[in-house]
Structures are given as structure tokens and as C-alpha cells.
Structure 1
Amino acid sequence: MKKNIHPAYNVIDVKMTNGETIQIRSTMSRPEGMQLDIDPLTHPAWTGGNQRLLDTGGRVSRFKEKFKGFGF
């Protein structure tokens, strides 16, 4: 491998949405760390859980009404 082409890895603090802080290695050099907006411990994309749709402004119901013949 070529020398001196890889980025330096630093240990940073990552603050989860529940307040827990973990340490990971990253190429980021932020001394304050990083705060997550979406927590991988509880998000359905990572946990495999079902996602509930929040019908704000009736958008979901309008979509379902418009495409009701397609089996949605």
C-alpha cells in the first residue's frame, strides 16, 4: 500500500438521542464530537421494526384515496 495517503483516525464522542455518549473512531477532527438526530438504536431502518405514518394535514389519507385501486 502507498504510504501517507490514508486519513488520520481520531476518537470522538457521539451523543445519542437518548443522552448516552459512545466513543467511536472517525476521520472527523471535531473536539466537541457529534450529536445524532436519528438514533440507530431505535430507528426502524436499523432495527427492522415497523414504521407508523403520521398523517399531518391529511396527506396520507389523500394519497390512499387517490391510489386506492392499486392495493396500497
Structure 2
Amino acid sequence: MKKGIHPEYKEVKVILSDGSEVVTRSTMKTKDGVYKAEVDSKNHPFYIGSQKMMSAAGRVEQFNRRFGKKAAKK
């Protein structure tokens, strides 16, 4: 490896939103080697199942109501 072109690879303590800690290695620049994660798999809507899903048919229907052609008056 060439010297002086690679970022420093060091241990980082990651503190998850529930208070648990994980020690890993990273090139992330942190103060005092600690990273506090605000979002993780225990509180992100995608992982906990509270994410609002909308079917594709519902999206098409919503689009047509909003931008679709108006019915011609006779």
C-alpha cells in the first residue's frame, strides 16, 4: 500500500439508540472515538413495521384523481 493516501482505520464505539454499545473499526472521523446513532434497526419505521405502505394501484388512482382528464360535459 502507498503511504499517506489511505484514511486512518481505527476502533470506534457505536452507541445505539437503546443504549447498547458495539465496538467496530472504521475510517469515520469522530471525537473521542464514539459515534452515537440516532436511527437503528430498533427504532427505524422500516424495521419495526410502522411504515405506511401504499399500493401501486392506490398511487395510480390518486394520480388520476389529481391530474387525470376531466370528464367532458355534454
Whether the aligned pair in 2 keeps the contact of 1:13 and 1:22 (CA below 8 Å) is yes
Cα deviation, residue 2, structure 1 = 2.7
How far did residue 29 of structure 1 move? 4.0
Unpaired stretches in structure 1, ≥5 consecutive residues = 54-63
1:52 maps to: 51
| Structure 2 Cα separation of the partners of residues 24 and 50 of structure 1 | 28
Aligned length: 55
The answer on whether the counterparts of 1:16 and 1:36 sit within 8 Å (CA) in structure 2 is yes
1:3 and 1:32 map into 2 onto residues whose CA distance is 23
Q: Tell me, yes or no, if structure 1 residue 7 matches structure 2 residue 7.
A: yes
Matched, 1:37 2:38: yes
Identical residues among aligned pairs (%): 26
Tell me the distance in 2 between the aligned counterparts of 1:4 and 1:52: 45
What TM-score results when the alignment is normalised by the length of structure 1? 0.54
2:71 maps to what in 1? Answer: none
8 A Cα contact 1:12 1:30, kept in partner: no
RMSD across aligned positions (CA): 3.0
> Per-residue displacement from partner, 1:36-61 (whole Å, max 9, x unpaired)?
1111x2321xx4x64434xxxxxxxx
**Structure 1 residue matching 2:24: 3-state secondary structure:** strand
Q: Max radius of gyration: which structure?
A: 2
